[in-house]
Amino acid sequence: MIKYFQLLPKTNIDFIGLRKIFFVLSAVIMAACLGSVIFKGMNYGIDFTGGTVMQVQFKNTAGIADIRAALNAQGLNADIQSFVGKNAFSVKVKGSQEDVNETAGKIETALKSLNIPFEVEQADFVGPTVGSHLAKKALFAFVLAMSAMVIYIGFRFQNIIWGAMAVVALFHDVLLAAGVFSILRIEVDLVIVAAFLTIAGFSVNDTIVIFDRVRENMKLNPKWDLKQLLNLSVNETLSRTVITSLTVIAATAILFAMGGDVLRNFSLAMLIGLISGTYSTVTLVPGLVYQWTKDGVSAAGADDAPAQPSSYEHPKKKNKKRY
């Protein structure tokens, strides 16, 4: 007989009974993040604010790490891009159009400290027009994707509330990541915007897995109320959700630790989103669905029904009938 290794034991957690605690916790965190985004603002990168762009060609091999260290010594926080097959680099530094000459001089001074001959091929100011245009496109894509998710989930599971609550959780995850970047004053560029969109896609995947299990359990146990069905479904998929998320989180953490400055902010945004997405999928979405589904409220006996025990007992232990 084959024995399968089980990483996580079966759980019997009453997620629906604890939903109000999760709601309050998330509300406090979201208020702090939203307040920071509104009153403190975001630290936008050169893609959104504009700045000086200098393209240089080195005579000998030069490394991005050495260039970045030289620029940091001059107090310049630069975005550096290399060109494949050449010793050429594009150096972007955020700033106003009036500071172009001063910034270009600092960049040249920093590069001269490397003692590698180089030639400045181009130095100019790039405005935020392109970045602003792409940001609007990204926002449009995000709103369109959220609307499509509501329609898809509502059609697939024949309940528009399920789709709406899944999208609420997505906003929760993206806002949390944006709030952390605002509080820590981490620069936000188009790469970070892409990370925010990726967070939304990952989070909704786990949510649909839980919804699928709820639908299956509805067919197997048609007389159970929604609270039992949601608790059972979340507990049955909890091991899969946690293991999948931990796998992706581990890979992203390695990128954050060893990916260098280029990938650090992107991987940080992903880490925040992955952790938040796992939390919201397991705790918020089922609670929101139960709270806002009239059938679930009436099946549970409405608000004036007797309170159920705080410890959740697995429904299958009560009903030994095999389906």
Residue 25: its pLDDT value, please?
94
Residue identified by tokens 């998710």 is 149
**Fold (CATH) for 19-42+131-302:** Multidrug efflux transporter AcrB transmembrane fold (1.20.1640)
pTM: 0.77
- The string of DSSP letters for 236-294 reads HHHHHHHHHHHHHHHHHHHHHHHSHHHHHHHHHHHHHHHHHHHHIIIIIHHHHHHHH-H
254 CB neighbour count, 10 Å cutoff: 11
**Fold (CATH) for 51-126:** Alpha-Beta Plaits (3.30.70)
CA distances from 207 to 88, 166, 265, 280, 285 (A): 46, 7, 26, 9, 7
| CA 173/CA 321 separation, integer angstroms | 40
Domain boundaries, the chain: 19-42+131-302, 51-126
Secondary structure (3-state) at 80: strand
User: Which residues are registered as beta bridge partners of 126?
Assistant: 51
Whether 231 and 217 have beta carbons less than 8 Å apart is answered as no
Residue 323: its pLDDT value, please?
34
Per-residue pLDDT of the chain (323 residues; tens, 9 = 90+): 444 455 667 888 899 999 999 999 999 999 999 999 999 988 888 877 788 888 899 888 888 888 988 998 888 888 888 887 678 888 888 877 777 888 888 899 999 988 888 888 888 887 766 566 766 777 787 788 778 877 877 777 777 778 888 888 888 998 999 999 999 999 888 788 888 888 877 778 888 888 888 889 988 888 888 888 999 999 998 888 888 889 999 999 999 998 877 788 999 999 999 999 999 999 999 999 888 875 444 333 333 333 343 334 444 444 444 33
Sheet containing strand 51-58, edge to edge, reads: 78-82, 88-94, 51-58, 118-126
Q: From start to end of the chain, where are the E strands? A: 43-44, 51-58, 78-82, 88-94, 118-126, 187-188
